[in-house]
Amino acid sequence: MATRALVRGPQNSVLFSAEALLAEAYRTGRVVEFDWLARAAACRAAMTAGLHRDQLLFLNIEPLALDSECPSDLWDDIEKAFGMFQVVLEVTERSLDRDPGSLLDGIDRQRRVVTGIALDDVGSDPVTLSMLPLVAPAVIKLDVRVTQAGPTPEITQILDVVYEEAERTGATILAEGIESARHGQLARSLGATLGRASTPVRPPAAEGDDAVHAGGAPADQHATRGHHPVRGSGRKPDR
């Protein structure tokens, strides 16, 4: 089982959602600062929640922050959490065309200290699928439009690219948007072995196999059969 940390703004405000916060950070030129603050808050929340020490912890990261130094006042919490949990750095497919150079350069610098990167929202923008081999993620997270859609030529093309990458690297396929037993069954048919939902859902499991199961609040939960440990992220500040 794994936990995905999601940042939220003030309740009932225009900045409540993670998307709104990130958009405002980009608008004001404070993306790196926001990214580190969110990462530190997620680490503190994971430790406060008493997650198991071997728990997988998925943390979103923006390309601009991949090659930045951690602020000295945040380092202790982040270092402690990274020592306690197996942290997976998660980037979105949408960020591939937002700042592809920074993203790919940053990921390359991280490869020697991580054993897995998760790529989120795969299939949300078919144009960026050609960059999947460059990212070489350990976890490929299918966008909800792929998970919940019926078979179409576009979806088939997306899945062909995903299957080829998973076969080439051994990446795990995770299905987003498992909100019903039907979605779970469809996810299985797409080859997903992990699933994520905003509410607990337990689709029927195949005989001798684990159910694709995800859920939980306030953090999203992932069911997982393997580990993709990550030991560090970013650079330690000079002291």
Give the domain range for residue 180. 2-222
Q: Say if 31 falls within a structural domain.
A: yes
Domain count, the chain: 1
Residue 28 pLDDT level (bands cut at 50, 70, 90): very high
pLDDT band at 1 (very low <50, low <70, confident <90, very high): low
Q: What is the CATH number of the domain that holds 6?
A: 3.20.20.450
Is 162 within a domain? yes
Average pLDDT over the chain, rounded to whole?
77
Instruction: Tell me whether residue 205 is in a domain.
Output: yes
The pLDDT of 112-137, averaged and rounded, is 83
Domain presence at residue 206: yes
The predicted model gives 80-93 an average pLDDT of 84
Which one, of 175, 177, 151, lies nearest residue 162 by Cα?
175
pLDDT in the model for residue 162 = 93
State which H helix or E strand residue 41 sits in: helix 31-48
Distances (CA, A) of 8 to 91, 171, 213, 216: 18, 29, 24, 16
d(CA 190, CA 147): 8
228 falls within a domain? no
Specify if 236 maps to a domain: no
CA–CA gap between residue 179 and residue 199 (Å, rounded)? 7
CA distances (Å), 110 to each of 28, 63, 114, 162, 233, in order? 27, 12, 6, 23, 7
Q: Which pTM value belongs to this model?
A: 0.75
CA distance 171 to 162: 9
In angstroms, what is the C-alpha Rg of the chain? Answer: 17
Residue 170: the pLDDT is 93
Classify residue 121: in a domain, yes or no.
yes
Model pLDDT for residues 167-219, shown as the tens digit of each residue: 999 999 998 888 788 888 888 888 888 887 665 444 444 433 333 333 332 33
Is pLDDT above 50 for 222? Answer: no
Residues 144-183 as b or e (16 or more Cβ within 10 Å = b): bebbbeeeeeebeebbebbeebbeeeebbbbbbbbbeeeb
**Sign of the torsion angle spanned by Cα atoms 57, 140, 137, 28:** negative
pLDDT, position 221? 38
Residue at 235 is within a domain: no
3-state secondary structure of 198: coil
Q: Which of 12-21, 49-58, 110-119, 187-196 has the lowest mean pLDDT?
A: 110-119
